[in-house]
Amino acid sequence: MDGALVLITDRGDELRVESAFRIVAGDVAATIDPADAAGEDATLEPLRGEITAASAAADGTLELRVGTTALSVPPDPDFEAWGLVCRDGARVVCMPGGGLTTWPAEARP
């Protein structure tokens, strides 16, 4: 892992989680820092499925469901906790300290 958890959607969008997040898979719950996630492959394995639900709160908290696994990424006080880059160029980023910033899709001729 390169210091980030990277999930690619079936549409080709890329979600990068770069701050500590909480994962709940069945009866197992863990908080993982992507920078220290070497050897966490078994814990992260449930995230290799299809994203079935996603939402971002105004404070920047990201909630994902991958099958029956839940992932929660709170804002980081000092860094961008996560960012989504869509295939069309649209972007959503959780800003340091919380809140969201968005960029529209790239104009296409």
Sorted by where each begins, the domain ranges of the chain are 5-103
pLDDT of residue 63: 97
List the chain pLDDT tens, one digit each, 109 residues.
468 888 888 888 999 999 999 999 888 899 999 887 655 565 677 777 788 899 999 999 999 998 889 999 999 999 999 999 999 999 999 999 999 999 999 765 5
Query: How far is Cα 109 from Cα 20, in angstroms, rounded to an integer?
Result: 40
Give me the DSSP letters along 46-81.
Answer: GGGS-EEEEEE-TT--EEEEETTEEEEEPPPSSS--
pTM (two decimals): 0.85
Q: What pLDDT, on the 0 to 100 scale, is given for residue 39?
A: 53
